[in-house]
Chains A and B, each alone.
Chain A
Amino acid sequence: MTDFTQMGLKAIRDGVAAGDFTAREVAEAHNDAVAAASELNAFIVATPDHALAAADKVDAARAAGEELGPMAGVPIGMKDLFATKGVQTAAASHILEGFKPPYESTVSQKLWDAGAGMLGKLNMDQFAMGSSNETSYFGNVASPWKKLGSNATLTPGGSSGGSSAAVAARLCPAATGTDTGGSIRQPAAITGITGIKPTYGRCSRWGIVAFASSLDQAGPMARSVEDCAIMLGAMAGFDPKDSTSIDAPVPDWAGALDSNLEGKTVGIPREYHVDGMDPEIEASWEQGKQWLRDAGAKVVDISLPHTKYALPAYYIIAPAEASSNLARYDGVRYGLRDLPEGAGLQDMYAATRSDGFGDEVKRRILIGTYVLSAGFYDAYYTQAQKVRTLVQKDFMDVFEQVDVILTPTTPTAAFALGEKTDDPLSMYLNDVFSVPASLAGLPAMSVPATLTQDGLPLGLHLVGKPMDEQGVLNAGLAIEQRAGFTAQPEKWW
């Protein structure tokens, strides 16, 4: 009997289309896998009926000889940041617990229209703030991976940690993620899967709970470059409801995949060589360069001089936007209301928000409130936005000579849950390699490269020119073909 959970997105889609099996069989197998994986805590809400209904629709359409969509028959996980009509959308927070949107996000709607079904809402860092999935109100997500010879529970990364865990654990062939400073790429890297954040504006933000508006982008997380290309094609596209959505046609990325990099130049930014860099990370990066050379690319050293300042700029801009974006959670129109005896309106706000937001969310709201407040705005926020201009300019300058940039995705492999929770700042450093591309709005992806000696996955990070997802995907494919990464976590859950 076929194990459908071992199949990738494309294999499932093509098998359903060919009549090798039904979409219902696939959905049932994945529903079972989700139900059996409660120890991972990857899902906040399971929606088996949604997956089955979508599958039945695809099977019926196939039987009727209708044309099937690019995601037909593929059951996926949906990050809890995407509004799903009638299904709790809480951004993994207490303050939105029980909130059932009367609307569907643009991206999730596009996926349903393409024939996908929903297995459930995926756990995540609360309001997408975190890099280890330890800030969810609904509990930590456990990575399916374990270090060799250790039973410690590891982080699946974050904020899209439910997504990375579920895809790595074969609970779903693909999942949606969102990426503000690395929240697709970092969890993908440390769970041995593939994830791409497209150019800012490729995917509509309409209906995605906002963290930092100028940075948030949705993207796919899956187990191959091709699966990511297919799913991104279904997610992307102009949306008149989002002012920052890019009005440009969506290329056939999957159809145009090509791992021959002859004539292409890959840049290696010297500023990403940080002191005390993990030698295994260093080695995988070296390996990555070689693979790209093998694929025909020319590899050159480049400089992105403001790299060092990207992370501090990010930790001003993102909290500033978040402090404002999260002001709407006030206990008036939806979500939690905490009304102490005799409290007035403003007391109700303070009580509701204190009770409803987790510590990391509060921390960022306070930072954001501070840097925007009277007297500090120019020194912090304006300065950060100027530095952001410089960070972007660095990229645009090097893109005169190179087509794509290669770096490690993360500074380390997965760490244990609880290891960094006492020091928020050390947690922030997880995103040191992913944040610059976020600030510049560039397409960037993580592709699995290798396993550490401890048996944990490491990813390589590719950053492309604005709108050139194809260049990123092609380079990713070249690495994927050479890395031959087939490792998967041993099932312990």
Chain B
Amino acid sequence: MSNYRVHGATGEWEVVIGLEVHAQVTSKAKLFSGASTAFGAEPNSQVSLVDAAMPGMLPVPNRECIRQAVRTGMAIEAQINTWSRFDRKNYFYADLPQGYQISQLYHPLVGEGQLVIEADEKAGIPEDKVIRIERIHVEQDAGKLMHDQHPTMSYVDLNRTGVALMEIVSRPDMTSPAEAGAYIRKLRSILRYVGSCDGNMEEGSMRADVNVSVRRVGDTELGTRTETKNVNSVRFVMQAIEHEVQRQIDVIEDGGTVVQETRLFDPNTGTTRSMRSKEDAHDYRYFPDPDLLPVVLHEDFLEECRASLPELPDAKRARYENELGLTPYNARELTAEVETFARFETLLAATAKGIGKPEKDVATQVANWSLSVAPGVIKALGDEGDPANATAERQAAILDMQAKGEISGGQAKEIFEIVLKEGREPAEIAETEGLKQVSDTGAIEAAIDEILANNQDKVEQYKGGKDKLFGFFVGQTMKAMQGKANPAVVNQILKDKLG
């Protein structure tokens, strides 16, 4: 249980949060028409007669949208309903040409599922927590209204009208803004792994309706909730919750009652306000869309959906820890984002192949490189470097040289810097820039012999038990070798010679 509590004037409050996330389904064409879903086109240029609800137009569902929603359902271990259908949600608004949204109320495509948000002490999430998901249904997006282009008119752009959305409805299982944030991040990660939504919150690909209520600690009844619509970033969701919680507590403590209503979040002020336009949108008169038939999913379709699922975040993280031997921290960091694990796995494969070892033997080295060394160099260089130069092959070549002892850690960074700046090949850089360490036992042995001969007193002291002097010999040797000796070789020879 989260221990998130809000201190009010009259006592302690706890918070109940449920989220309805609208995620744009990745598809080329809209849910019920052949118009494009591409972002940022000229107004009304991606609108079919169907989307504009011309008289006599009819919807025919896009298989890919159904498929992506089913795959998403499978990824959250949900019940897939092999018999579902579309319903109409009736209301009047200028962004809704049909006068109804085709959605799913009575028989959604996906039923009960769940996801796990990970423990995060700092954020007040003491242990892993299961958040239940009630359902995923597929529905049409609305168009866009522009209010600031004309003094007395709003302008209507229907390009988004009819784009497929998955509405992913959680149970009211979250009890703090941090949990809500973690839930959205985890959901986004799953969607992006599956490829069913690009998760691009700036472009509106993911928006959350945030249901919040408060109650006094110890109460078991749920308080009256408000729904804040269309909040479009993790940060804003957390802000909206914080504001709503405080507002509701203030209302109750001042002797008022919370009104069940739809609210709007203002990102500029971090506050919510009542939404006038939705005041009477309370009776949607849902009924099965008579233009559409029941969607029946057959085993071959389901099998294809199942087979096309990638390894999912939780499974990947477990594998990184258990099979690759990575630390929990590294495993979590590497699996959070699709891009991160993709780069890591490419580099890991290239490195393992180059070195000729199993992946698990080089995974820690590659993980450290990926998470701290390489990002550090890239960040330090800033605009001077071009990350595009850092191909997996080049990075693998650096890691390969390092693993073989041909270069030191410091040299690896220096070589990577040059790679970033100039796009040259690591082997060539190491050669021409003299960034190689000496592993030639002959040269190192000669240097060590000389040092031991010149420091007989210290050799005696060491042999007499002053172990710390070992570091002195290493230092002297490295100095004699101008820092280019392979430390492992130096250590080995010194140990042999000092007995």
Stretch in contact with the other chain, from B91-99, B255-263, B464-472: B91-99
CB of B293 within 8 Å of the partner chain: yes
Contact A205 B58 (CB under 8 A): yes
Contact A105 B92 (CB under 8 A): no
Contact B92 A210 (CB under 8 A): no
CB of B88 within 8 Å of the partner chain: yes
- Report the bound CA distance from A105 to B57 in whole Å: 9
Chain B 180-210 interface residues, beta-carbon cutoff 8 Å to A:
none
Residue in chain A with minimal CB distance to B280: A346
Contact A213 B55 (CB under 8 A): no
Residue in chain A with minimal CB distance to B98: A328
Chain B 290-304 interface residues, beta-carbon cutoff 8 Å to A:
290-293
In the complex, which residues of chain B have a beta carbon less than 8 angstroms from the beta carbon of A105?
56
Instruction: Choose among B97, B99, B291 the residue that contacts A213 (Cβ–Cβ < 8 A).
Output: B291
Contact A213 B290 (CB under 8 A): yes
Instruction: Choose among B55, B58, B94, B293 the residue that contacts A241 (Cβ–Cβ < 8 A).
Output: B58
CB of B53 within 8 Å of the partner chain: yes
What are the interface flags for A316-329 relative to B under an 8 Å C-beta threshold, 1 for contact and 0 otherwise?
A: 00001101101110
Contact B287 A377 (CB under 8 A): yes
Interface residues on A, range: 35 or more
Measured between C-beta atoms, what is the minimum distance from B204 to chain A in Å? 22
Residue in chain B with minimal CB distance to A240: B60
- Report the bound CA distance from A374 to B280 in whole Å: 13
What are the interface flags for B80-105 relative to A under an 8 Å C-beta threshold, 1 for contact and 0 otherwise?
A: 00000000101011100111100000
Residue among B54, B55, B99 with the most chain A CB within 10 A? B55
- Report the bound CA distance from A82 to B56 in whole Å: 8
Instruction: Choose among A210, A374, A381 the residue that contacts B56 (Cβ–Cβ < 8 A).
Output: A210
Given A91-B55, A333-B52, is A241 in contact with B60 using a C-beta cutoff of 8 Å?
yes
Measured between C-beta atoms, what is the minimum distance from A105 to chain B in Å? 6
Contact B92 A324 (CB under 8 A): no
Measured between C-beta atoms, what is the minimum distance from B381 to chain A in Å? 54
- Report the bound CA distance from A105 to B293 in whole Å: 21
Given A324-B90, A332-B97, is A208 in contact with B293 using a C-beta cutoff of 8 Å?
no
CB of B496 within 8 Å of the partner chain: no
Q: How many residues of B contact A (CB 8 A)?
A: 32
Measured between C-beta atoms, what is the minimum distance from B372 to chain A in Å? 55
Contact A242 B92 (CB under 8 A): no
Given A96-B55, A207-B56, A324-B100, is A103 in contact with B90 using a C-beta cutoff of 8 Å?
no
Given A209-B55, A324-B100, is A374 in contact with B60 using a C-beta cutoff of 8 Å?
no
CB of B59 within 8 Å of the partner chain: yes
Given A213-B290, A377-B287, is A330 in contact with B54 using a C-beta cutoff of 8 Å?
no
Chain A 321-362 interface residues, beta-carbon cutoff 8 Å to B:
321, 323-324, 326-328, 330, 332-334, 345-346, 349
What are the interface flags for A364-375 relative to B under an 8 Å C-beta threshold, 1 for contact and 0 otherwise?
A: 000001001110
- Given A102-B49, A210-B56, A328-B53, 13 more contacts at CB 8 Å? A206-B58, A210-B291, A213-B289, A244-B292, A323-B90, A324-B285, A328-B99, A332-B156, A345-B154, A372-B285, A372-B286, A372-B287, A381-B287
Chain A residues with a Cβ under 8 A of chain B: 82-83, 89, 91, 96, 99, 101-103, 105, 205-210, 212-214, 240-244, 320-321, 323-324, 326-328, 330, 332-334, 345-346, 349, 369, 372-374, 377, 381
Q: Which 4 A-B pairs have the closest CB atoms?
A: A327-B99, A372-B285, A213-B290, A214-B290
Chain B residues with a Cβ under 8 A of chain A: 49, 52-61, 88, 90, 92-94, 97-100, 154, 156, 282-283, 285-287, 289-293
What would be 13 A-B contacts, judged by CB atoms less than 8 Å apart? Answer: A103-B49, A212-B290, A213-B290, A323-B90, A324-B88, A324-B99, A324-B287, A326-B99, A328-B53, A328-B98, A330-B99, A349-B92, A374-B285
